[in-house]
């Protein structure tokens, strides 16, 4: 008995000793040299041209740099020089010339030259499934080096957002690409020109960056912070607990931190909840051909009046969603406030439905299980539609399945979200309307012509006017989508942390992050 008691005492003592030491990262310390940024999704894959999440992009743009930078304001953006010092476009509006900055070195000492730009853009030309390509460069035609510090980039046709695409393309070192190929990121040999150097990625745990003491733009940006960690914490409530305990300096969640979880931060004044009106918007997409109930205009129009959008914003989103009169959101260039808002009018909806040739068959409203509050929304929508005479049921399916049925056009209506990358509608217009990736099969040559013109129009005021026309056209035909609302996102960042940029298109940057103790509480 005595031996047992002594043994247990020893174990207890050992445990106490282990845990008795204080914590690192005591938040009461004056200057912080290590920052921990929590993300609620893993960074899966380190290829800077293939980042599939905002976290992946944030890392890529901290370690690698594009030729120019911009403020994510769509066609209204201001562009600042980065790896390029000046640029111009030829009269054909398709050939762009960039003059590169001299004297920049990669993290391993290699000089930055036009060869690197060529290698990067050549990848975009050859590898069609790269995320940066499909989002911004489907119109890329060619790239060539004029000399060591001049490049020419050509597009297949003029489009107004070319500079946005350039700003979203991080430059990779050509020597490394030639030598390592995809081991450059698979074997974690990454290096770029940015103010942060890649150290290590532990899948499922963290990504570690360290300050680049030889950054070419030190005069403009020289932070006190030396180490930066992205920590992957998928379980939001426990991540918030970690944040409050001081293990994180910021927590950024895809789609924002929901209202009920925000209350966990109450009383912790050292953490600030930052709210942004985003360009993440929710819509219903129709299949407008064949047996679909929504091949009929009146059915689609009925839906528009049957939906009580404001109610959903207030109840399901607790106010974190706002209405828009069309696909051009209020924060976008080209927004036309004169277009009337969507109206909730069940009586009118019933009238319109009566005029349609809807035969009463059961319609399934699909959504993806990974869409935040998707299931709640379609349940409510289903009820509202049923109230005016539709026969609908709601079904949330796995995103892989949803992708499949959309590709095949095997649906009548679905609820999904869209994120405007670069704060511009061009990707939406080209992919979801023009090339009809989701097989809406909406036959309206006039609309397609308008979209075509918008995509190639370079005169911004003219483009904005055409966008307004497009919205009106969409409202009149209620096809191929109907807009519900756009989301307001809240993220949590400690007050002392400065330099994190949160943009309306939901992307964020930590490139210029720093810590200012004066601001902390």
Partner 1 sequence: MVKYIFKRLGQTVIVLFFVSVIAFLLIRLAGGNPALLLAGDGATDAEIAEIERSLGLDQPLVVQYFKYIGNILRGDLGRSTSYGMPVANLILSRFPNTLKLASVTVLFGCILAIPLGIIAGSHQGTVIDFFATLFALLGQSMANMWKAVVFIYIFSVWLGWLPSIGMEGGIKSYVLPVMTLGWQMSAQVTRISRSGMIDTLHEDFITATYAKGIHPLVVRWKYAFKNAVCPVITLVGMRFGTMLAGTIIVEAIFSWPGLGQLLNTAVNQRDYALVQALLLLSGAMFAIINFAVDIINSLVDPRIKLR
Q: By the criterion CB under 8 A, which residues form the site for partner 1?
A: 1, 4, 11, 15, 18-24, 42, 44-45, 47, 50, 128-129, 131, 134, 138, 182, 185-186, 202-206, 231-235, 237-239, 241-242, 244-248, 370, 398-401, 403-404, 406-407, 431, 435, 437-438
CB of 137 to partner 1, least distance (A): 12
Largest CA distance in the chain: 94
**Residue 425: C-alpha distances to residues 74, 121, 361, 429, 480 (Å):** 8, 23, 35, 6, 15
Shortest spacing between CB 36 and partner 1, in angstroms: 8
| In the complex, minimum distance from the CB of residue 128 to partner 1, in angstroms, rounded to a whole number | 6
Q: Do 495 and 366 touch, CB atoms closer than 8 A?
A: no
Nearer to partner 1, 106 or 185 (CB): 185
Please give the structure tokens belonging to residue 30: 């004056």
The least distance separating partner 1 from the CB of residue 279, rounded to whole angstroms, comes to 18
CA–CA separation, 281 vs 484, rounded Å?
Answer: 8
Dist. CA 285–CA 305, nearest whole Å: 16
**In whole angstroms, how close is the CB of 414 to partner 1 at the nearest point?**
13
Query: What b-and-e string marks burial along 208-221, b requiring 16 or more CB atoms within 10 Å of the CB?
Result: bbebbeebbbeeee
Q: Min. distance of Cβ 33 from partner 1 in angstroms?
A: 16
The stretches of 316-362 forming alpha helices (DSSP H) are 346-355
Beta carbons of 507 and 57 less than 8 angstroms apart: yes
**What is the distance between the alpha carbons of residues 40 and 415, in angstroms, rounded to a whole number?**
23
CB closer to partner 1 out of 29 and 459: 29
User: In 3D, which of 514, 334, 343 has the Cα closest to residue 423?
Assistant: 334
Residues in CB range of 323: below 8 A, 6 or more apart: 309, 310, 313, 341, 342, 485
Q: Report which of 425, 434, 469, 258 is spatially closest to residue 331, judged by C-alpha positions.
A: 425
CB of 204 to partner 1, least distance (A): 4
Our CB check for partner 1 shows the closer of 23 and 78 to be: 23
397 sits in which H/E element:
strand 392-397
Cβ proximity to partner 1: between 101 and 208 the closer is 208
Question: Which residue number, 19 or 357, has a Cβ lying nearer to partner 1?
Answer: 19
Which CB, 122 or 241, lies closer to partner 1? 241
Task: Using the minimum distance from each CB to partner 1, give the nearer residue, 96 or 411.
Answer: 411
- H or E element: which one contains 132? helix 131-136
CA end-to-end span of the chain: 54
Q: How far is the CB of 48 from partner 1 (least distance, A)?
A: 13
Q: Which two tokens stand for residue 398?
A: 């796995």
Nearer residue to partner 1 within complex by CB, 27 or 158: 27
Give 24 or 446: the residue with its C-beta nearer to partner 1.
Answer: 24
What's the closest the beta carbon of residue 72 comes to partner 1, in angstroms?
Answer: 21
Taking the alpha carbons of 128, 130, 131, 135 in that order, is the dihedral positive or negative?
Answer: negative
Nearest approach in angstroms of CB 285 to partner 1 is 12
Residue 332 and residue 270 in contact, taking contact as beta carbons nearer than 8 Å: no
Decide whether 150 or 241 has the Cβ nearer to partner 1: 241
């Amino acid at each position: 008995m005595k031996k047992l008691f002594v043994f247990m005492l020893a174990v207890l003592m050992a445990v106490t000793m282990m845990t008795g030491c204080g914590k690192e990262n005591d938040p009461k310390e004056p200057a912080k040299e290590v920052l921990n940024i929590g993300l609620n999704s893993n960074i899966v894959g380190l290829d800077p041209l293939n980042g599939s999440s905002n976290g992946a992009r944030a890392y890529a743009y901290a370690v690698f740099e594009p030729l120019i930078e911009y403020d994510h304001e769509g066609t209204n953006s201001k562009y600042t020089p980065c790896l390029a010092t000046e640029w111009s476009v030829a009269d054909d509006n398709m050939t762009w010339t960039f003059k590169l900055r001299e004297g920049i070195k990669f993290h391993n000492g290699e000089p930055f030259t036009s060869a690197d730009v060529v290698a990067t853009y050549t990848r975009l030309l050859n590898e069609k499934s790269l995320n940066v390509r499909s989002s911004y460069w489907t119109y890329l035609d060619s790239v060539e080096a004029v000399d060591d510090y001049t490049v020419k980039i050509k597009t297949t046709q003029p489009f107004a957002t070319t500079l946005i695409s350039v700003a979203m393309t991080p430059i990779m070192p050509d020597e490394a690409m030639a030598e390592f190929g995809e081991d450059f990121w698979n074997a974690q040999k990454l290096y770029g020109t940015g103010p942060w150097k890649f150290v290590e990625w532990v899948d499922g745990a963290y990504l570690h960056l360290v300050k680049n003491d030889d950054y070419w733009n030190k005069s403009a940006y020289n932070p006190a912070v030396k180490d930066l960690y992205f920590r992957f914490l998928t379980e939001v409530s426990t991540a918030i607990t970690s944040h409050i305990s001081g293990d994180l300096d910021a927590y950024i969640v895809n789609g924002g931190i929901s209202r009920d979880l925000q209350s966990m931060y109450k009383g912790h004044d050292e953490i600030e909840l930052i709210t942004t009106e985003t360009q993440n918007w929710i819509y219903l997409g129709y299949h407008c051909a064949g047996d679909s109930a929504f091949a009929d205009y009146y059915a689609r129009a009925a839906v528009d009046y049957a939906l009580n959008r404001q109610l959903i914003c207030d109840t399901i989103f607790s106010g974190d969603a706002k209405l828009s009169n069309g696909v051009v959101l209020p924060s976008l260039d080209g927004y036309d406030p004169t277009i009337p808002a969507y109206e909730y009018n069940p009586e009118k909806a019933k009238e319109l439905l009566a005029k349609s040739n809807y035969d009463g068959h059961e319609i399934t409203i699909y959504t993806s299980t990974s869409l935040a509050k998707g299931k709640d929304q379609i349940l409510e929508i289903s009820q509202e539609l049923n109230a005016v005479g539709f026969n609908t049921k709601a079904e949330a399916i796995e995103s892989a399945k949803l992708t499949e049925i959309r590709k095949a056009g095997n649906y009548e209506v679905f609820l999904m979200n869209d994120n405007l990358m670069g704060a511009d509608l061009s990707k939406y217009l080209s992919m979801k309307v023009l090339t009809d990736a989701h097989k809406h099969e909406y036959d309206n040559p006039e609309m397609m012509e308008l979209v075509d013109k918008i995509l190639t129009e370079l005169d911004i005021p003219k483009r904005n006017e055409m966008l307004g026309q497009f919205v009106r056209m969409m409202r009149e035909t209620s096809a191929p989508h109907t807009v519900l609302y756009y989301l307001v996102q809240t993220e949590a960042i400690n007050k002392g942390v400065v330099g994190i940029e949160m943009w309306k298109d939901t992307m964020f940057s930590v490139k210029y992050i720093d810590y200012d103790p004066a601001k902390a509480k």
